[in-house]
Structure 1
């Protein structure tokens, strides 16, 4: 079987009036040196690109090394080019930003899916450059060497993976006669080493260097000329061409190469890259600072409300007096019972931090040593959690404790104004107060004095209150109404929803007692929940504004990548010719956008931290109660870094998809 076999090939470009190749048939044996000659427009270069698996014919069969090229997928064709074919182009197609050594190495990189040792590639590239007499110039850029030397570098690049087939497209077209002879000698030498060489040329003298000439005109084989036709007997360089595809094998060498290539592209256009990165820098800095400041403001505002007791609420329960006897079903609610109704709530609702009953005495007077207070005084029956729930500080003595509650101790804590009026010249601790409620008298020993405070309710005078253990109050009060637990003070844990807690308690007691009770939560719970929602919306709004600026920066990067891609069309075509798969190109482009975003994002994070700390420092100069502190919001940092990665991927995705769609044949011909 022939190494290359073409049967009735037909190929035409989209929109063309006439096909470029018309029923073209020929065969080439392995180890041959064949020249394909014809005038411009005859279809010889198109044929070379078809032999290189860079395009497909519309009809006919094309076999190379036993592979039907029309049946290969895009990825299989890339693997085939990388393992089987070495390209030598008229325009050399050396990447100007890479050294001669790096350009030669490029021929061995693809496909990137196959893990390769870069040190082995470098040694192979240095060996080939030495073979072509260019070792001393390996670190030079292509622009610093002659055209003949550039073409020899291109030939060296084509040999990196020891291909069986060398496809040379007008390799002497841009060279003088001396360098042309040197290049032809190299092609002859490669032929003598066992390579099959197919040379495309319009020059008859160049074509005569081959063993066989195929003359093409108007897409047809016009004639065939055998000059020597001495089939090379050298052993094949490969047992079989490789079209087996695999997923990309990620390694340190691969990541290092992708990062180095991305850095090279950025370094080539520093000003453009810096201006583009500025948008992402501002966006990331804004996201970080806005989210951090929004979270900080929310925390401080809610903490300020918490100090006023807004993470607490009152829960009330009353018998349903309008309920008729015939409507009673099951348990009947007759006010709250501490042991059976209230004490189990902390186990039923884990959101509850503390709970205290509140009994209220009316028509109260307080007497000590002939001094009496009988206006706006209230007696409150409480437990040991009340003062923590209400955030009431004790400036003298101690609050009511669990021992007092358990043993119904006759002790009390008095409000600041009570102490000021009754004990202006006497130490209040240990003194005995006489309390009167509806002419019913009781006494208590003062164990503490509460600090002065204010109330959100105008009718309440917290500094004229006297706090007793609720068990003692119930035991001594003769007023049935006052001794009932109608009101419960509840503190919930941070982060719990007050509105949901209130609804949950109502549902619990309604299920337990049905319509025999009426239950409601203090309206402050709804107010605080709405405040929390507003702050969440406000923080999200700030973050959204910042994300918009980040998106604008991402659009700038995508635009820069597209402009850069337009400048590198030939490079993309070359990489595809060398065996780059769609995945390889995608990784290459995405790494460039990720590197831009990472560098810009890193600067943005630093600037964002500096910005919000400066804002906080400035705020402390205008808000006396605000103290400067170093803050770190882990969610803001995570979202910032997540945004960097997301913007990097999204901004590089469109350019990457565009690079994938480029046809290598058209890309290489782009002026």
Structure 2
């Protein structure tokens, strides 16, 4: 071996100490060590002599406490974490005593692992892995998982993995320690063959018969090199070293796709844990969609019911604002209604003198609301008739005893016949039915609008109520424009104030009532949404907890990935994508369940309003929660020490 040749690996004054509390344990002491390219070196020593620590430093998995390490003339101490990962990816191949294969994937996938952190295409990875496994006699076992392979076969898979990216430096830590004699001989023959092909082999062992295969034997004892000898069978000629193969890092799209595939594989492998992780997100997303649909449906129902009563209406009530018993105050008279009808922008103004009265027909009695009003009532309230006609102004002038009934009254008094032309008693006064109003249903506050009878104001005030003053006046503007409604309200207020001399009335704007109801329902919808989002956040916390458990369970896997060249950023990306993938799958399931629950509730008669906004909101929240709550576990995984990760059980 040429003495003038630049050392491939050079260590000078290397020490390694570990601090445990206040106790310092010195493992390596002033190690001076060189390896030429293409050498087959065995480092031998008893347990605790520092062999594995030295190998970890040589493989850039660990750093010396003091001293210097040069690789190909480049000082390792000056390298960044990404540069060290690049070295492990391009220059080193690790063969471990316990094989350190990923248990959930096949021999083929294990062999391909280092190439996942290069720009090699999927076809190139498969081709090289297949070639290596075939060369190592595993062509029939490529699709078997590690648990289905013998110890020798698993070690050959780990050798294939070490060679995947070239592996010009093979670091073998007790590669025969867990094998029988036959498998040990096969593995050592492979390492010998690789050495002859130009790979630099550094073998860690405590067995002299294994070390005897090497061309050079370095003995460690208590962290000191006590001997460094060339074997008798070593070839004196200089070896031709196998060059390191440069590998470009994967593109962002490649690394993202590979991380996604890895995430799906991990989720499929741990299906029960995945289901528990998904549960919180599924419930949260489904709750957001269904609760917002219920809230928006209730809001729309209230608005529709109020609007059905007339969004262009003003209601004028007797009595000064904030006074009790205003219904008994005689401040509103029919003459006020006639005056209001002369104002501009008025579609119709009608009096309403209402009270509960007994209806009787053929021995059947019932209580119903009787409303004495003007002939323009259907115009003012935009309430059409389903049968017959409404009474006329002539009927009012003649004090006619005619009535128009609501749908509820029709069903209860005339269930088996056409009510038109029929007669009934109202408060012992005989009235003839001339029309039936269209069904309106209940008001937002639960009153049945169809349980009503309308009679001419003149007739009702004289023969049924015995009073002229009004319970309220309904004023319909020509349209429901907010500015116009405001102007009409101001005009009515000014007119009545002028007529009465004092403000002994109150005016309610139906548009304001709708706005207030909408704001109230918006508050309720937001409250429901907040409750649902809280459940989604709780689901996110569950994702974080499960991912932290996953990082703990897969610590050795993380160490393996680091050993084959994964940068910390790629480790972080993998676990972050895994968390996001869980959240997105849970989000998709939650969307489906939420839509299903909303449909079922709607089918059962609950007022729901489905829109895409809550779906997008819930799904977006699921993504953000996966990103936010997945960051801490991903960061923890990326910051693991590779040496500690590899020895984790």
Q: Same fold (TM over 0.5)?
A: yes
Aligned counterpart, 1:162 = 166
- Structure 2 Cα separation of the partners of residues 574 and 560 of structure 1: 21
| Structure 1 residue 85: Cα displacement | 0.8
Aligned counterpart, 1:533 = 519
Match of residue 113, structure 2, among 106, 118, 130: 106
| Structure 1 residue 588: Cα displacement | 1.8
Match of residue 16, structure 2, among 8, 11, 19: 11
| Structure 1 residue 46: Cα displacement | 0.8
Partner SS for 2:303: helix
Aligned counterpart, 1:393 = 382
Aligned counterpart, 2:562 = 576
In the TM superposition, 1:620-631 aligns within 5 A as 631=609
Aligned counterpart, 1:238 = 244
| Structure 1 residue 385: Cα displacement | 8.3
Aligned counterpart, 1:120 = 124
The CA deviation string for residues 418-470 of structure 1, in whole angstroms up to 9 with x for no partner, is 46414899xxxxxxxxxxxxxxxxxxxxxxxxx999x99xxxxx9999xxxxx
In the TM superposition, 1:12-411 aligns within 5 A as 12-15=17-20, 16-110=23-117, 114-227=118-231, 228=234, 230=236, 233-234=239-240, 236-238=242-244, 248-251=251-254, 254-310=255-311, 376-381=337-342, 386=347, 392-393=381-382
| Structure 1 residue 177: Cα displacement | 1.8
Decide whether aligned partners of structure 1 residues 205 and 391 sit closer, same or farther in structure 2, where only a CA change above 3 A counts: farther
| Structure 1 residue 39: Cα displacement | 1.6
| Structure 1 residue 530: Cα displacement | 4.0
| Structure 1 residue 86: Cα displacement | 0.7
Check whether the contact 2:41–2:218 (CA below 8 A) recurs between aligned residues: yes
Structure 1 gaps of 5+ residues are 315-361, 365-373, 397-414, 426-450, 457-461, 466-486, 507-519, 621-625
Aligned counterpart, 1:421 = 396
Structure 2 gaps of 5+ residues are 1-5, 316-331, 350-378, 401-436, 445-453, 458-475, 491-505
| Structure 1 residue 382: Cα displacement | 5.7
The CA deviation string for residues 287-313 of structure 1, in whole angstroms up to 9 with x for no partner, is 110111111221222233333445778
Aligned counterpart, 1:438 = none
Decide whether aligned partners of structure 1 residues 176 and 230 sit closer, same or farther in structure 2, where only a CA change above 3 A counts: farther
- Structure 2 Cα separation of the partners of residues 67 and 529 of structure 1: 74
Please say which of residues 117-126 and 597-606 is displaced more in the overlay: 597-606
| Structure 1 residue 117: Cα displacement | 0.6
Match of residue 565, structure 1, among 541, 551, 573: 551
- Structure 1 Cα separation of the partners of residues 629 and 333 of structure 2: 74
Partner SS for 1:108: helix
- Structure 2 Cα separation of the partners of residues 640 and 264 of structure 1: 26
- Structure 1 Cα separation of the partners of residues 284 and 161 of structure 2: 43
- Structure 2 Cα separation of the partners of residues 394 and 658 of structure 1: 68
Decide whether aligned partners of structure 1 residues 489 and 208 sit closer, same or farther in structure 2, where only a CA change above 3 A counts: same
Decide whether aligned partners of structure 1 residues 159 and 385 sit closer, same or farther in structure 2, where only a CA change above 3 A counts: farther
Please say which of residues 209-218 and 129-138 is displaced more in the overlay: 209-218
| Structure 1 residue 93: Cα displacement | 0.7
Q: TM-score if structure 2 supplies the norm length? A: 0.71
Aligned counterpart, 2:600 = 614
- Structure 2 Cα separation of the partners of residues 229 and 68 of structure 1: 30
| Structure 1 residue 613: Cα displacement | 1.9
Please say which of residues 297-306 and 537-546 is displaced more in the overlay: 297-306
**2:629 is the alignment partner of 1:640:** no
Q: TM-score if structure 1 supplies the norm length? A: 0.69
Query: Cα RMSD between the aligned structures?
Result: 3.9
Decide whether aligned partners of structure 1 residues 222 and 645 sit closer, same or farther in structure 2, where only a CA change above 3 A counts: same
